[in-house]
Amino acid sequence: MNHFSASCKQSSVEDETVKGGLKWVNTEVDLDKHVIVPMLDPKNIESPDKFVSNLTKTGIKMSMPVWDLHLLNLRTSDAESVAVFRVHHSLGDGVSLMSYFLTCTRKICNPEEPPTIPIIQKVNPSKTAGRFRGKFIKSWLAIVLFWNILVDVVMFLATALSLLNDTKTPLKGSLSEPRRFVRRSVSLDDVKLVKTAMRTAINDVMIGVTNAGLSQCLNRKYGECNKINKEASEGSNDLPHNIRLRAAFFMNLGRSPGIQEFDDMMKEGSKARWGNQIGYLLYPFNIALRDDPLDYIRQAKATMDRNKASLKASFSHFLVKCLHKFRGMKLARLPTQTTLYFSNVFGPKEEISFYGYPVAYIAPSCYGQPTWLLIHVMSDANRITFTFTLSVDEGIIPDPEQLCADLEDSFNFIKSAVIAKGMVMN
């Protein structure tokens, strides 16, 4: 472990003068307190894949820098051992933390170079059009932006004040249960195949897949309830009408300069920024069974295009900061009226190693948030990894792996529909 620095200029620790507050202090890092290597007997562990979830039963010590690293010598379904970083969100948002982690990794194909991550290029449609047409488009976009902001502010405030809550479904259980981590990977090449055929973004594809998977899951759960009451038949549509199911969609509002720039983050004059630059989109999922599975992708694209023509992510970030400052953390947790959190993070394009050890997968997730379901999506080399964090009564969802199977099956249905309709481009 001699690769780790034994000192730290500043760290976030508990502020004894403010209940639940944190403060920055000068500190020295004692690695023996942060790096934990438990003695494990694999014979006494029924499922190594479930063992990691036990870490959600304990928190991070707030009297020292709020992070720790657990090295678990357990062989799982796709790795020889597992390293679990637990980092308090006060240290940074997901993009900042992931970028910092990737600075500690190197390409397997070239051990001297850090990995590369994708950079999204935003296109301004008014600049690609002619002069007159560009002015018209710019004016129209301003009108749409104003209207969308007005509607979104009303909807956001109604949700924050608990005037607009999600429908109570089998996905909303007790928040007192410990979290369960489950994970599933699909081919990034297959995702790009659907993306290219549908002329959309990878993010739209993954949201559409999530919508389809949640629809399948809820239809099965409602069907099981109806069969008890002898009201359902095999293969029927058992979904109630007008289910309101929304996700608090995490949006990074800060500039993402890439991990190479984070190597020089602490240098004076660096453009890289660290912190929690997070906004929320309240994303509505239309829970329904579609005859054409590609409709899930079309709807995801239309909904995200509409969300992009708004500033509600920036507004939510501003409002949460105000509530946190003036009314406390409890009221600042606005998305508690939604069913789930959803986020996605770009990972490295290449296979990577962490201090010489090949990385089989990276699966970011969270626990401690007041929500029933968390879904994180991350691209990693040639994989897209779903990571689900469930916080429900196990009597409602006894096997979270089934939800993973629903999402994987939904993706395969969508990919098969693209191929069957001859939408694959050579």
What is the set of active-site residues?
89
Q: Tell me the C-alpha distance between 104 and 356, whole Å.
A: 10
Nearest to 141 by CA among 127, 153, 155, 152: 127
DSSP string, 215-263: HHHHHHHHHHHHHHTT---TT---PPSS--EEEEEEEE-S----HHHHT
* DSSP SS3 for 11: strand
Q: Are 194 and 203 in contact (CB under 8 A)?
A: no
DSSP string, 369-410: -SSSEEEEEEEETTEEEEEEEE-S-TTTSS-HHHHHHHHHHH
Q: Tell me the C-alpha distance between 75 and 40, whole Å.
A: 11
Q: What order of strands is seen across the sheet that includes strand 357-358?
A: 105-107, 352-354, 357-358
Q: To the nearest 10°, the Cα dihedral for 331, 337, 338, 339?
A: 120
Question: Torsions phi, psi of 389, nearest 5?
Answer: -115, 115
DSSP letter assigned to residue 293 = T
Q: To the nearest 10°, the Cα dihedral for 227, 371, 303, 306?
A: 160
DSSP letter assigned to residue 136 = H
Q: Which residue has the tokens 């730290």?
A: 8
